[in-house]
Amino acid sequence: MPDQQTIEPFGIYIHWPFCESLCPYCDFNTYCSNQIDHEQWCEAYLRQLDHSAKELTVSQCTSVYFGGGTPSLMESRTVGKILDRISLLWGFSGQPEITLEANPTTVEQGRFLCFRSEGVNRLSLGLQALKDSDLKALGRKHGVKEAIKAYETADRVFNNVSLDFMFGRQFQSAESWIGELQEIVELNPNHLSIYQLTIEPNTPFGKRHAANRLEGIPDEDTLADMYLATMEICERNGFKQYEVSNYSKPGHKGKHNLVYWEYHDFLGIGPGAHGRISIDNQYFRTNTILNPESWLDGIFKLGTGENQRELINQKERGSEYLLTSLRLNDGMSIDRFEQISGNKLDRNAISELVQDNWVGITDGQLQVTTNGRMVLNQIISKLLS
C-alpha cells in the first residue's frame, strides 16, 4: 500500500437526480418522479464505475460524495453496493470521507443508521434558513422546528454533520442575518457551508428576477455586510474559514470539496455530473447526459452515460487552478501554478495586489486577504491578464 502521505487526492461524485419537490432558486440537474426503479439505477451506477475504472489509473479513492437532488432518497443498499464497487476497483485511502446530502424532510433515524452501516460517515444537511417565512419563500418543505430536529437526529447517528445555509434572501437585513447567525453557530455542527443566494437565469427565481417580479433582494453593500459578519461570527465561535463560503471546526474541513478547489482529479457519475480526469498525462473535462432516462439508456446500450470529453490544455489548467485555489484561505501555490500552466505569474501584478492589501504571500502561497475577498473577480482578472 502506498505511503499515506504520498496519496494524490481522488474523489468520486455520485449524482442522484431526484427530489421530492423542486426549489425555485436551484439550477442543479434535478427531477421529481414517483416511480424509480432502484435496482436499475443501482446497476447503472455500478456499470459506469466499471467502465471508468478501465481507463483511470489512480491508486486510491480518498472521498465519495453523494449529491443531488436528494440522495437520502436512495435506498441504503444502493449506496452500500456503490461503495463496495469503488473499494473493489480502486480501494480507499486509510480514512476516506463518505458524504451524503439530505433534506430535513427525508430524515429518519432508522434510515440514517442504515446509511451509516453501509459506509457513509458524514452528512450534509440542507437547512438553508432558520426562519419559517423565508423557508416557505425558498420553496422548502420543512419548517425551523423540523430542521433542528433533523439536525439533532443526524448528529446522533453520524457525529460529523455539515449544515448548509443561505444569506441574501428576500427582504433580509444585515441585522436579521446577524441574529440568525447567532442561532446557527449555537447549533454547533462540525462544518458550515454558508452561501449567498445566487439568482440563476433559468430557474423560477431567475425568470421572476428578469421580469422585475423578485422583490427584496439585498443590495451589494448589504450583502457585503452580511458576508463580513458571517466571517467574524463564525471565527469568534470556533468555525475556521478555509474557503470563501465554508467554515469548519478543527479537523473537519470538507475533504471532497478540497479535491475540487485544490485541483485534483475527480470522477463524476450520474445524470448531469461533471468530472476532471487525467489519462496518459492528458487532462479532460467530462460531463454526462442530463436526462435521467437518456443517461440510463446510454449506460445499458453503450456502457457509459458520458458525453464527449473536452481536452484541457496547459494554459486552461493553470487558469482553472488559480480560479479554484484562490477561494481557499490557504491560497494557491505559486510553484504549482507555474508547473501546471507552464507560465510565470506577473510579479509586478502581484506586487500591486500586495500593496493594495488584496493578497499576501506566505511560504510560496498566494493568499487573498479579507479585503481582497470583496474584489476576488478583479484579483483573478489581474493575475490572468
Q: From residue 16, how far is each of 90, 97, 174, 330 by CA, in Å?
A: 21, 18, 35, 31
Band (pLDDT 50/70/90 cuts) for residue 106 is confident
Query: Which pLDDT tens digit goes with each residue over 177-212?
Result: 999 999 999 999 999 999 999 999 989 999 999 999
Q: For the chain, what is the mean pLDDT?
A: 94
- Read off the pLDDT of residues 298-357 as tens digits, 9 standing for 90 and up: 999 999 999 999 999 999 999 999 999 999 999 999 999 999 999 999 999 999 999 999
DSSP secondary-structure letter at 306? B
**Same domain, residue pair 152 and 12:** yes
Residue 377 pLDDT: 93
Choosing from 195, 230, 260, the residue where a domain stops is 260
Q: Say whether both 318 and 256 belong to one domain.
A: no
Whether 142 and 247 share a structural domain = yes
In a domain, 23, yes or no: yes
- Residue 133 shares a structural domain with residue 245: yes
Co-location of 231 and 349 in the same domain? no
Task: Report helix, strand or coil for 376.
Answer: helix
**Residues 229, 155 within the same domain:** yes
Enclosing H/E stretch for 86: helix 76-89
Q: Count how many Cα atoms sit within 13 Å of the Cα of residue 383 in the half-sphere of its side chain.
A: 30
User: What confidence score (pLDDT) does residue 1 get?
Assistant: 39
> 154 and 46, same structural domain?
yes
What residues have CB less than 8 Å from 232, skipping those under 6 apart? Answer: none
Q: How many domains does the chain have?
A: 2
On whether both 31 and 175 belong to a single domain, the answer is yes
pLDDT range class, residue 6, cuts 50, 70, 90: low
Q: Do 222 and 149 share a structural domain?
A: yes
Report whether pLDDT(272) > 90. Answer: yes
Asked if residue 221 has pLDDT above 90, the reply is: yes
Identify whether residues 54 and 147 lie together within a single domain. yes
- Res 108 pLDDT > 90: no
Cα-to-chain-centroid distance, residue 48: 22
Same domain, 106 and 174: yes
Q: What is the reported pTM?
A: 0.95
Q: Is residue 290 part of a domain?
A: no
The average pLDDT across 265-293 equals 96
Tell me the residue range of the domain where 54 lies.
4-260
Whichever domain contains 40, its CATH number is 3.20.20.70
Query: Which of 242, 260, 278 marks a domain boundary?
Result: 260
Q: Is residue 276 part of a domain?
A: no
Q: Is residue 326 in some structural domain?
A: yes
Query: What average pLDDT does this structure show over 112-134?
Result: 97
pLDDT in tens, 154-179: 999 998 999 999 999 999 999 999 99
* Residue 359, domain CATH: 1.10.10
Q: Are residues 235 and 347 in the same domain?
A: no
- Structural domain contains residue 235: yes
Query: 268 lies in a domain?
Result: no
Residues in a beta bridge with 247: 192, 241
The string of pLDDT tens digits covering residues 35-60 is: 899 999 999 999 999 999 999 988 79
- Is residue 328, in this structure, part of any structural domain at all? yes
Residue 3, pLDDT > 50, answer no
Lookup: cell for 85 = 464497487
Residue 69 belongs to some domain of the structure: yes
